[in-house]
A and B are shown apart, each in its own frame.
Chain A
Amino acid sequence: MNNYSDKIKSILTDLGLSLLSIVVALIVGTLFIFLTDKSPLDAYSALYIGAFGNFSAIANTLWRSTPLILTGLAVALPFRAGLFNIGAEGQLLMGGFTAGVVGFYFTSLPAFIHLPFAIIAGMFVGGLWGGLPGFLKAKMDVHEVIATIMLNHIAIALTINYGINIFRDTGRPATPRIMDSAAMFNFKNIMDHPFLSKLPFAELFAHPAIRLHINFFLALAAAVVLWYLLFKTTLGYEMRAVGFNPDGAEYGGINASKGIITAMFISGAVAGLAGVGEVLGTHFSFMQGMDAGYGFTGIAVALIGQTHPIGVILGGILFGALAQGGLEMQFSGIPSEIVMLIQALVIFFVAALQVFKVYLAKRKAKGGVE
């Protein structure tokens, strides 16, 4: 019982410190806003209003956070198994591209087959793209950082440079538009839905500016599944044991290569789902630029979320809010460079906080000895 309340206390302290570091970042950011002759107050109220100011802003913050939550998870899971997945970007591209091709290629499938088929195909290919470096690591001891970085380059060449050119039908650097039967449900169309339109407050969603689609809920589901996998199953226990001490785990009878390959496959599938959602829910075709560096931002999301699935959701929403609110800051006259700088400051201070906490813990431990 005491243990339980201690846990809640430490989580609350964590959250409080995270908020504090965001505040510190914004205070440092004011220095840069002064350079632009604009009022920091206007700039930050624009940031807030853009991200949380009204219902559609909140919905769109969640929309922007969707791929970030997924790539964050894709980095967090292997991290727990002692692996650094730099390859979420490539896995996202492969998954998104596959979903995009399945989405336009099959022209006469009913939606209840076409959409799940496109999602699963994308996740599977993303999973293979993650599983391959897992396999190389487990069987041949190829370092996963090298392998995933190289696979990122191959994925960019295969999808953006080569893949789009095979299928393109207009001047736009994108695959053809997907069939409606493969499109993810968008909440702005909620009033057309037979069941969802009956929900209370459903009409709030029926605004053309809302871009939130069901992939956000798939991302939440993925977080719950990964949490269950990591902390409630034997496989998860084994993965964490491998991450904690691979030799010890092996000695204790755990099959380390199985854990490594599985963790990387699942991680690739989750990153693939990020790409699938962007293609089937946001852009409706696989287009150049759809990846937007989510695979790399995902590394920061995972670390800020302390590689815990619930933390990753919060980290993803923080980054989504910065992206969504950042655009509004530009409307208040802050140049995009300063907006990016403030976004980077927030990340920097939240990350620096982790270092500070380690320092505190060390001091505490030292004090305990004396």
Chain B
Amino acid sequence: MKKVLSLAIVFAFVMMVVFAAVPAAAQDTRVGIVLSTGGLGDLSFNDAAYRGLQRAEDELGISFDYIEPADPSEDQTALRRFASRGYDLVIGVGFQMADSLRTVAGEYPDTKFAHVDQYFEDIPDNIVSLNFAEWEGSFLAGALAALTSENGNVGFVGGVDFALIHRFEGGFYQGARYINPDIEIQSRYADDFGDPARGREIALGMIDDGADVIYHAAGGTGSGVFQAAEEEDIYAIGVDSNQNYVAPGHVIASMLKKVDNAVFDTVKSVVEGNYQGGNNLYFTLADGGVDLTSLTEVGQPVLDAHDNGTITDEELETIRQMKENVTSPYADRIAEIKEMIINGEIEVENWGETGRPDNL
């Protein structure tokens, strides 16, 4: 009897070890991410990258650690610590980290690296760079703005005047002109990604000059644009994440930049062993890397905002009615344009590379 019992115990032990070993093998993949200054809570790409890793933790059984550097001098140290501790994949977020990532990647040729939001010239074999075709998504935003504008006058508020934001501006400009060649487009830069008061002033100025739809690519400055839209009862278009629940009824859509999907896919490629370094990847409309939020449905993030009490029942209803009256009539037209961009009938110019025309 005793023998049987001890055999059973041994058997149980063996089974535990065998079964435990299966998820443990998957858990061997460790990912370290260094976020850009600003860190979590930016409602933009830091949060999105974090969401991607959370999803990878749930679905792929990886583990990850993150660092929020206090200033750019810490980037290199943080990346190096992850690499020296044998993390399988080290991710850097934001254009400021590009040089540091290249340096550290040179020191650890056997570690895999990924970078979000910066094109690399002569990209090393152990870096994959994740970029987004913001100009394609912004083209849809521009088209929607031109379709909904009653005054034939739309606005663009940029964060800082440089190549990355020119991609958004260029797409918006071309999209609006595609719908209405005579449309007036106002374009201003706030010189800051975190100054809502400035965003509001700029937006109010544009509204004064006749704009009735304003698109922003200005991070936190954009919340001032939404505020102005609410005060003056005009429409705004959000960016990066689904921002449609902010200023309920006034944000008609958001241009999504799905950093979370890109990060998730990269982690997946490492887990599955088909990571391909030395590549500048572009996520486009075709693969859903950029997109416009649905023009007919209110969308899960808005419902979530309702569930956690950010917006009230009434505000949700306002958003619903806005979708029905303002945007859904154009849903088919926008879907058609999206299809034309994907199959190449419309070619959208990337102002980040061609440069912003001087005579706007």
User: Does A associate with B in a complex?
Assistant: yes
Q: What is A's interface to B at a CB cutoff of 8 Å? A: 60, 64, 157, 161, 165, 168, 170-173, 208-209, 211, 278, 282-284, 287-290, 292-293, 323-324, 326-328, 330-331, 333, 335-336, 340
Cα of A292 to Cα of B73 in the assembled complex, Å: 9
A300 nearest CB across to chain B (Å): 15
A171 touches B352 (CB 8 A): yes
B67 touches A172 (CB 8 A): no
A331 touches B81 (CB 8 A): yes
A173 touches B80 (CB 8 A): no
B276 within 8 A of A: no
What 1/0 flags go to B77-100 for Cβ under 8 Å of A? 110110010000000000110110
Residues of chain A lying within 8 A (CB to CB) of residue B65? 331, 333
Residues of chain A lying within 8 A (CB to CB) of residue B99? 172, 284
Contact among A170, A209, A288 for B80, CB-based, below 8 A: A209
Cα of A64 to Cα of B73 in the assembled complex, Å: 8
Residues of chain A lying within 8 A (CB to CB) of residue B37? 289
A323 touches B70 (CB 8 A): yes
Cα of A282 to Cα of B103 in the assembled complex, Å: 13
A287 touches B72 (CB 8 A): yes
B77 touches A172 (CB 8 A): no
Band of interface residues on B: 20 to 34
What 1/0 flags go to B26-67 for Cβ under 8 Å of A? 000000000001010000000000000000000000000101
Chain B, Cβ-Cβ closest to A282:
B73
Cα of A165 to Cα of B189 in the assembled complex, Å: 12
Residues of chain A lying within 8 A (CB to CB) of residue B162? 165, 168, 171, 173
Residues of chain B lying within 8 A (CB to CB) of residue A323? 70, 74
B70 touches A340 (CB 8 A): yes
Chain B, Cβ-Cβ closest to A168:
B162
Residues of chain B lying within 8 A (CB to CB) of residue A161? 160, 191
A103 nearest CB across to chain B (Å): 15
Contact among A172, A293, A324 for B95, CB-based, below 8 A: A172
A170 touches B163 (CB 8 A): yes
**Given A289-B96, A331-B81: A173 in contact with B160 (beta carbons within 8 A):** yes
Cα of A166 to Cα of B355 in the assembled complex, Å: 14
A292 touches B70 (CB 8 A): yes
Residues of chain A lying within 8 A (CB to CB) of residue B107? 208
Residues of chain B lying within 8 A (CB to CB) of residue A335? 68
Cα of A211 to Cα of B75 in the assembled complex, Å: 12
A171 touches B70 (CB 8 A): no
The 7 closest A-B pairs by CB, nearest first: A171-B163, A292-B71, A336-B68, A161-B191, A289-B72, A208-B107, A330-B67
B88 nearest CB across to chain A (Å): 16
Cα of A330 to Cα of B67 in the assembled complex, Å: 6
Cα of A173 to Cα of B166 in the assembled complex, Å: 13
28 residue pairs of the A-B complex, CB under 8 angstroms, read A60-B77, A64-B73, A168-B162, A170-B163, A171-B119, A171-B163, A172-B96, A173-B95, A209-B84, A211-B77, A278-B73, A284-B99, A287-B72, A288-B96, A289-B37, A289-B71, A292-B70, A292-B73, A327-B67, A327-B70, A327-B74, A327-B81, A328-B81, A330-B67, A331-B67, A335-B68, A336-B67, A336-B70
Cα of A287 to Cα of B160 in the assembled complex, Å: 14
Cα of A172 to Cα of B118 in the assembled complex, Å: 8
Residues of chain B lying within 8 A (CB to CB) of residue A170? 163
Cα of A303 to Cα of B321 in the assembled complex, Å: 59
A283 touches B72 (CB 8 A): yes
B161 within 8 A of A: yes
Cα of A84 to Cα of B246 in the assembled complex, Å: 43
Chain A, Cβ-Cβ closest to B37:
A289
Chain A, Cβ-Cβ closest to B39:
A336
Contact among A157, A290, A330 for B68, CB-based, below 8 A: A330
Residues of chain A lying within 8 A (CB to CB) of residue B243? none
Chain B, Cβ-Cβ closest to A335:
B68
B220 within 8 A of A: no
Residues of chain B lying within 8 A (CB to CB) of residue A327? 67, 69-70, 74, 77-78, 81
Residues of chain A lying within 8 A (CB to CB) of residue B67? 327, 330-331, 336
Chain A, Cβ-Cβ closest to B192:
A161
A171 touches B81 (CB 8 A): no
Chain A, Cβ-Cβ closest to B106:
A208
B259 within 8 A of A: no
Contact among A208, A292, A328, A333 for B72, CB-based, below 8 A: A292
Cα of A35 to Cα of B74 in the assembled complex, Å: 25
Cα of A290 to Cα of B68 in the assembled complex, Å: 16
**Given A171-B352, A330-B67: A287 in contact with B73 (beta carbons within 8 A):** no
Residues of chain B lying within 8 A (CB to CB) of residue A211? 76-77
Residues of chain A lying within 8 A (CB to CB) of residue B163? 170-171
Cα of A165 to Cα of B73 in the assembled complex, Å: 22
Cα of A303 to Cα of B217 in the assembled complex, Å: 41
